[in-house]
Amino acid sequence: MSAPSRMEDAEEQHARRASDGEAHQGSTDAEHHARPLEVQEVVEKLNTVPAFKVVDDETGDIVPTPGKGGEACLCWYADPHDARVALAIVAAREPGRQLSLGTTPLGTALAMSEGWGTGLPSMPLRLQASSAVLRSVRDVLSPLPERAAAALNARTSAFPVFLMEELQSPSVAPVFFRREDLASCWRISGRAPEALPDSLTLYDLRVLVLKMMSTGADWRSLMFVAPGSSLQQIDAASQHGAVRDLERQAAVARGDEPPPLEEAAAIA
Tell me the three-class secondary structure of 192-259, residue by residue.
CHHHCCCCCEEEEHHHHHHHHHHCCECCCCEEEECCHHHHHHHHHHHHHHHHHHHHHHHHHHHCCCCC
As to burial, measured by CB atoms within 10 angstroms (0-12 exposed, 13-18 middle, 19+ buried), residue 56 is middle
Average pLDDT over residues 110-123: 91
pLDDT at 15 over 50: no
- Mean pLDDT over all residues of the chain? 82
**Lowest pLDDT segment from 58-62, 66-70, 113-117, 261-265:** 261-265
Of the pLDDT bands very low, low, confident and very high (cuts 50, 70, 90), residue 264 is very low
Residue 42 and residue 209 in contact, taking contact as beta carbons nearer than 8 Å = yes
CA-wise closest residue to 157 among 251, 40, 245, 77:
77
pLDDT at 261 over 60: no
Of the pLDDT bands very low, low, confident and very high (cuts 50, 70, 90), residue 234 is confident
Tell me whether residue 49 is in a domain: yes
**Lowest pLDDT segment from 92-96, 169-173, 213-217, 257-261:** 257-261
Which percentage of the chain shows pLDDT scores above 70?
77
Give me the number of domains the chain comprises.
Answer: 1
Total Cβ atoms within 10 A of residue 217: 16
Tell me whether residue 70 is in a domain: yes
CA distance 162 to 224: 10
CA distance 44 to 51: 14
Of the pLDDT bands very low, low, confident and very high (cuts 50, 70, 90), residue 266 is very low
For the chain, give percent helix, strand, coil, nearest 5: 50, 15, 35
Range of the domain at 151: 39-251
- DSSP letter at 143? P
User: What pLDDT score was predicted for residue 249?
Assistant: 52
Residue 201 and residue 165 in contact, taking contact as beta carbons nearer than 8 Å = yes
Specify the 3-state DSSP secondary structure of 62: strand
User: What pLDDT score was predicted for residue 20?
Assistant: 55
Specify the 3-state DSSP secondary structure of 74: strand
Q: pTM to 2 decimals?
A: 0.76
- DSSP letter at 35? B
Helix ranges (H only) for 33-49 are 39-46
What CATH number corresponds to the domain at position 114? 3.40.1350.100
Residue 116 and residue 39 in contact, taking contact as beta carbons nearer than 8 Å = yes
Residue 158 and residue 142 in contact, taking contact as beta carbons nearer than 8 Å = no
CA distance 42 to 38: 6
Tell me whether residue 149 is in a domain: yes
User: What pLDDT score was predicted for residue 33?
Assistant: 81
Of the pLDDT bands very low, low, confident and very high (cuts 50, 70, 90), residue 217 is very high
Average pLDDT over residues 63-87: 92
Tell me whether residue 27 is in a domain: no
pLDDT at 218 over 50: yes
Of the pLDDT bands very low, low, confident and very high (cuts 50, 70, 90), residue 253 is low
CA-wise closest residue to 159 among 172, 142, 173:
142
The residue among 5 and 66 whose pLDDT is bigger is: 66
Q: Longest Cα pair distance anywhere in the chain, in angstroms? A: 92
- The string of pLDDT tens digits covering residues 18-51 is 445 544 444 555 577 899 999 999 999 999 999 9
Tell me whether residue 124 is in a domain: yes
Tell me whether residue 267 is in a domain: no
User: What pLDDT score was predicted for residue 128?
Assistant: 96
Residues 6+ apart with CB under 8 A from 79: 52, 128, 129, 130, 131, 132, 133, 227, 229, 230
- DSSP letter at 114? T
Tell me whether residue 240 is in a domain: yes
- The string of pLDDT tens digits covering residues 184-196 is 999 988 898 888 9
Tell me whether residue 268 is in a domain: no
**Lowest pLDDT segment from 45-54, 85-94, 186-195, 255-264:** 255-264
